[in-house]
Amino acid sequence: MKTLRPYLIWFAVAVLLTIGAILGMQWVRDHPEHIPGTPFELSHPQGWATNRKLVALAGDDSACFAAFDRAEAGYLRRPAIGTGACRASQRMILTGDRFVPTMRPANVAPGCAVTAAMALWNRDVVQPLARKHFGQKVVELENLGSYNCRKIAGQPNQSQHSTANAIDISAFVLADGTRISLINDWTPGDKRSEFLHEVRNESCGLFSTILSPDYNRAHADHFHIDMAARTAGWTVCR
């Protein structure tokens, strides 16, 4: 019997490893949001790989629009515009408010990747916080535009607006018509400010960049959000 013990130990180890592998594979199937190599889906919860997947979509037009197609999202794809560093090929306008509240102005056409990020932002951040603070939903997002061929102010680098991979959000309008704006309601003092600050804080890590009035005076009236690709995947939240 003593000579069988090493074999029994190795057999038990093999069984445990097999069970572990099976459970690991099941976990991967059940949590694709954490796995970089799995396709991005609008229906998935946010996971460890969500930001990386969204950034990748900014460079893959077909994969990005395919995600909206799989979700049966209505959208209008706008023609590509610009050239070189200012070429924007992912511009789109969602039809309906299933994924993102009605945009004002309505003709803004941010890139597909940042639109996908906004859909998760609306689902996981904006609407839950609106219900928490006001007991109702956000029905409109006011914006200051998306596409703008220019450099980052005071820097030599091209802005993400140059490819429509960014959008500036200036106000949130609730179902009862209440308007919560960055320029008027950012200063601490009431639940409107609490809402805006929590929206900023809970957006960290979803977008590659979110800049608020705390960043500088140029952002006093809006949130700048984008899906910029950065070395090592670091994000900016200020």
pLDDT tens digits along 168-219: 999 999 999 999 999 999 999 999 999 999 999 999 999 999 999 999 999 9
User: Phi, psi at residue 36, to the nearest 5°?
Assistant: -55, -35
Instruction: Quote the CA–CA distance of 86 and 28 in Å, as a whole number.
Output: 38
Reduce the DSSP state of residue 223 to 3 states and report it.
strand
Residue type, 32: P
Say what the pTM is.
Answer: 0.90
CB 98 within 8 A of CB 73: yes
Instruction: Quote the CA–CA distance of 52 and 58 in Å, as a whole number.
Output: 10
Domains contained in the chain, CATH given: 61-237 (3.30.1380)
Average pLDDT over residues 91-96: 97
Instruction: Quote the CA–CA distance of 62 and 55 in Å, as a whole number.
Output: 14
Instruction: Quote the CA–CA distance of 210 and 228 in Å, as a whole number.
Output: 11
| pLDDT value at 77 more than 90 | yes
CB 33 within 8 A of CB 27: no
Peptide bond just before 45 cis, omega within 30 deg: no
Burial tier of 93 (Cβ tally within 10 Å: 0-12, 13-18, 19+)? middle
Burial tier of 61 (Cβ tally within 10 Å: 0-12, 13-18, 19+)? middle
What percent of the chain lies above the pLDDT cut of 70?
A: 87
Lowest mean pLDDT among 14-18, 108-112, 147-151, 217-221: 14-18
Average pLDDT over residues 2-24: 61
Q: Alpha helices, DSSP H only, in 31-156?
A: 50-57, 61-70, 112-121, 127-134
